[in-house]
Amino acid sequence: MSTSTQNTSTAGDDGGTPGPREADPLRDDDLLIARAEAWIAADVDDADRAELRSLLARTAEPHLRRTAVAELRDRFSGPLEFGTAGLRGAMAAGPHRMNRAVVVTAAAGLGAYLTSAVADAPRVVVGYDARHRSADFARDTAAVLTAAGVEVAVLPAALPTPVLAFAVRHLDADAGVMVTASHNPAADNGYKVYLGGRVVTDAGQGAQIVPPYDARIAAEIARVSAAPGGASSVPRATDGWTVLGTEIHEAYLRRVASLHDPDLHIRDVHAPRLVPAADPRTAVAVPDDYTGPPPLRIITTSLHGVGGRTLGRVLADAGFTDVVPVEEQLDPDPAFPTVRFPNPEEKGALDLALSMASDLGADLVIANDPDADRCAVAVRDPDWGTHQGTETAASHGWRMLTGDQVGALLGWDAAQRTSSGTLACSIVSSRVLARIAERHGLRHATTLTGFKWISRTPDLVFGYEEALGYCVDPEAVRDKDGLSAALRVALLAERLKESGRTLRDALDDIARACGLYSTGQLAARFDDLARIPEAMATLRAAPPAELDGAPVTEVVDLTAGTNGLPPTDGVVLTAADDTRVIVRPSGTEPKVKCYLEVVTPVAADATAEDLGRARVTAQKRLERLQKEMAVALGL
């Protein structure tokens, strides 16, 4: 980071009017070191204080000073911003990192806001995942809020984010806090805030915060941070909060189990049950008198997160008997040792699960991210297989469905279950959901990205975003829920299997009814964050005149707001053939993302072979679009 220039002045040699002079880098360093020493004095954690002292000691060593000062500048470049995603960042000491001092001030600011927003004692439920320091951050939150006069209930163990989101509404809490960094790297942690109860009483009750609530809470946090003593001056109780029992987890499981509708579940519940063999890697033991199809074989993985055991219960409670978890990734491990990034969307994250699926002849792979609010689905598609090159699960045709494909499947499934209501998706998700809603006589809503917006849709029946997030039970969980979504997918796959069909066949049916909507992405990661606004400015100044040969007919700058949506940083390009590209900076990563969609008309009587050819052609169009947009963004 470059050294800033101070507004200092000095008298000229002739004693005349003082003029500006450049800042002294050594003095800048001294001021930075003084800030670090002040932070140490106000810190609440011995290990964090020792870490900063060690970093300060390196500034006194000539051969270490440069890198130590650069690290200090980054850590003290400003407070970790509290916004509509709460807090998220790398764990280390300093105001621009996730640590106990930052969490204490955040909890104090939240407590101050809540006590001003409700007449009597606010009620807050706190949850946490299994990442490093998550339990400490949850305990600090409970201690600070209790001292502020808040009634606090803490989840009994490291549990999935959807359990916390469920608890906010189930317990009629005024707020919820979830300590998690979701699918971020192992070095990160985060702090999600939900509002409900008496604070938010409209369709957003129990959802994550949006403006103006985020700004109001951030203002209180800033006030606490600026007070003498900072975090060390914040009162913390030593007890007085309630640690919930397992009943809250069981209540969540019962709610998810209620999504299993016997009227739509073809299998006769009184038929002989299919019992897995003692070794789940061997063939399933089928009773001699059973004549139906074999049970759906599902491979699951939680990617070392907190959802593995809960997903196992969800599927077992719904009667699935042949579920095989990836044992190496089943139990929580904050180091995430078998994956580079614990994100199902990342290349290689599902390799173990797909390999097991190929070995065991599975029907379906279901993966959750570490806090289990996202759900990835993989299927075997023989058309994608190849005999060329190394034999792998991918060569056998195993592939992950896109978030838009799963959204279409669950959206169609939801539309068939209701006669009224709204289907909603984020603006960067496929437009196929709007066609599905139209086809079923339902309303459709487009929102900004994030479930803090999607879940606020009035009369919501189903909502999704392309980044593997699905809300299938908005009455109970006003957020994405990778566990209830997994159950819906499994039930759908089972019904299809019992009629000799697959999820791929269901996608073909949707294409015949609505057209083929094919989506893809181009994502550019930036080490220099200043290049992100530069790339967006380049696009706004000279948007492409064509998209894959079709003239661009509309360019919409989302910073002005459009179709009732609040302003956001993004650009929408639409071509004459309905090809669409949306470009926006990522809200959680240093990336610019391009969301690509091409639409292919499909005849109602199109064969599977016709659709296969159409998908190949659409994929080639998407690949050309990726190259065009890379040029348009100056990448």
- The count of other CB atoms within 10 Å of the CB of residue 620 is 12
Which residue shows structure tokens 């998209």?
547
Q: Which two tokens stand for residue 508?
A: 């073909």
**C-alpha R_g of the chain:** 26
> Exposed e or buried b for every residue in 450-462, given b needs 16+ CB within 10 A?
bbbbbbbbeebbb
The residue count of the chain comes to 635
Torsion over CA of 384, 389, 392 and 396, rounded to 10 degrees? 30
Contact criterion met (CB below 8 Å) for 442 and 463: no
Give the active site residue among 182, 302, 426, 455.
182
Q: Is 226 exposed, middle or buried (0-12, 13-18, 19+ CB in 10 A)?
A: exposed
Query: Residue 464: enclosing H or E segment and its boundaries?
Result: strand 460-465
> Exposed e or buried b for every residue in 372-385, given b needs 16+ CB within 10 A?
bbbbbbbbbbeebe
Gap between the Cα atoms of 205 and 168, Å rounded: 9
Distances, alpha carbon 385 to alpha carbons 395, 413, 547, in Å: 5, 28, 30
Residue 212 preceded by cis peptide, ω within 30 = yes
Residue type, 493: A
Residue type, 505: D
- Detail the DSSP E strand segments found in 282-430: 298-301, 323-325, 364-368, 375-380, 398-400, 422-426
Q: Is 254 helix (H, G, I), strand (E, B) or coil?
A: helix
Q: Which two tokens stand for residue 28?
A: 């800048």
Q: Is 191 helix (H, G, I), strand (E, B) or coil?
A: strand
Residue type, 327: E
Phi, psi of 465 (to 5 degrees): -135, 155
Q: Which two tokens stand for residue 174?
A: 């005024």
Contact criterion met (CB below 8 Å) for 69 and 59: yes
DSSP state of 543: -
- The count of other CB atoms within 10 Å of the CB of residue 544 is 18
Which residues, listed in sequence order, are joined to residue 552 by a DSSP beta bridge? Answer: 575
Gap between the Cα atoms of 233 and 250, Å rounded: 39
Residue type, 211: P
Sheet (strand 460-465) strand order:
443-447, 422-426, 460-465, 469-471
Residue type, 352: L
Q: Is 317 exposed, middle or buried (0-12, 13-18, 19+ CB in 10 A)?
A: middle
182 a catalytic residue: yes
Gap between the Cα atoms of 191 and 79, Å rounded: 14
Catalytic residue positions, numbered: 182
